[in-house]
Structure 1
Amino acid sequence: MAKSYDVVIIGAGPGGMTAALYASRANLSVAMIDRGIYGGQMNNTAAIENYPGFKSIMGPDLAQQMYDSSINFGAEYVYGSVESIEDKGQTKLIKTDSDEIEATVVIIASGSEYKKLGIPGEHDYGGKGVSYCAVCDGAFFRNKHVVVIGGGDSAIEEASYLAGIVDHVTVIHRRDQLRAQQVIQDRAFANDKIDFVWNTNVTEVVGDDMKVTGVKVVNNQTHEASTIETSGVFIYVGLLPMTEPFKNLNITDKDGWIKTNEQMETAVPGIYAIGDVRKKELRQITTAVGEGGIAGQQAFKYVESHKDETNKPGVTQK
């Protein structure tokens, strides 16, 4: 028989862990399922400076503190990859790569992943100079030159982080101005180890048999092509929602983001979504935590109302 919980949370990032805290503190049985280490993208972040209560904290440290809180009232952490959810009405059946789990409520907090450029050489040089995580791989490029592709918060924050390790950082952006928050931009512009190449698209990652040696670029205004020599390529060009296992539920938009209301409810009763997997504008730790608190409380209300329904005269529990 499938294991059974009041609430199953898919994903153990900041939103998922907060939902686990709220739901388990309300005396519900809770399981968090994740295919990786708890904390999500916080584990790939050096210093977090915009989470209330901390002037600055390392991402993995905040992840650990959140996890300790999330299991304090009995929530369980389950390692696994979710393959599908079946809506059975009063319950949901979650199928993982190794098990089946039943729940009254499912909270989807599966997050998003870094978008790929889809250019020649990007896949071939993965692990040989192409990276999507400066904290993970920056130390391999100590005293070398690297490029960062992108102009949002992640790209510019990671460029500043890399500048403290490598010899020099070149930021390549397809527009003529950055999209990152102003304070992040100011910090990067003031760093003499960071320079910027504007209005430019990267068309290919090149290298030898062992490693990256450069990137081919084209100026999208003048159409001039050139090659920038580099030892490392760090790519930050957007996010893709990790929602493939949930497409059968018809709760996503055309781009794969899950649509919810302000109570984090999807179109399927008993299924909620929070964090970076939602269709929204601001994707931050603080917003994920807030949404996790809402979903955890809504899960409690849903489970209680479900108990009321099944305890009515003439209703048979299954």
Structure 2
Amino acid sequence: MSDVRVRAGLTQRGVEFDLELDDGEVLAVLGPNGAGKSTLLLMIAGLIRPDRGRIELGGAVVTDTSAGTFVPPHLRGVAMLSQQAMLFPHLSVAANVAYAPRCAGHSRSTARVTAQRWLEVVGAADLADRRPAQLSGGQAQRVAVARALAAEPRLLLLDEPMSALDVTAAPEMRRLLRELLRGGLRTAIIVTHDLLDALAVADKVAVIEDGRVVESGTVRDVLSAPRSDFAARISDINLIPGTVSEPGVIRTNWGTDICGIGIGNLDPGAAAIALFRPTAVAVHLETPHASPRNVIVVTIAELNTHGAGVRIRGVDQPDGGTGLAADITASAAAELDLEPGMTVYFVVKAQEVELHTALP
């Protein structure tokens, strides 16, 4: 059993975590830089002690500040893989991978067999006799994966494992992790900035902002209907918070009504969010008068090429939320003669907008 339960905080780093992961699940942890993602992994691994709280791995308590319990890192059954492979430079690839089983008390011959097996699994058996200095970045990270798995960990922690790889090595590593982690055979937590990592590898997603888990759920639920600003940005969805004023309508904090299709129980007075895609937005230079459509006044912050068209991004919303985006054709952008600083009107049909309850 390799389930994970974390309810712990650390004042110095401004974090307070509360999350659970069942045996055999893979969790992708997303969030902006400095949100506390790596701190979460270090707490679970036992490399950082929380001020308060409790951490359980596989049903065993490894940290409990109230009881004074703290299991040292090497006894937790956790393996951690970071951005850099961190291989021992003086050892061969085979010896690097054999290191963990040797530390666990296995004989030299048994450790050698284990190393060979895991090198074959990750497609690096032909590298067994090389030294780390002779490996490419992608090869070194494959060996690091083999070394981590050779320890037979209850839990595998991966901290941005693809971030240091080039554009050709990263997809190969992503495919390898998918093969190794999907299917309920191993419990893992992967910290990443890349949406592709979550889509390819994870069963669940947790979004961390300002040291808190602000959103969690299945990959599909979080990325198709995000409830947090960061998740909306990476999912390429516009998100506007507000309060339900009547069925099918929310009022923003700055007084604009947004009409849409209500999803779930949306009682008047409840906090809610409106979601719609940039492709659903029409851009006008003057206020349109037709209805039923949502009209949102936007000041253009930037214009960028997006696929075959143009992505218009507005300045941040009045409540500090990420600026809204609209995707239009290049010819439409040229006809409108748009430029940063202009005031335009984003128009969205009500049937293109989903209204959801906001996170507590």
- The structure whose Rg is larger is 2
Highest RCO, 1 vs 2 (Cα 8 Å, sep ≥ 6): 1
Q: TM-score, normalised by structure 2?
A: 0.22
**Structure with more strand by fraction:** 2
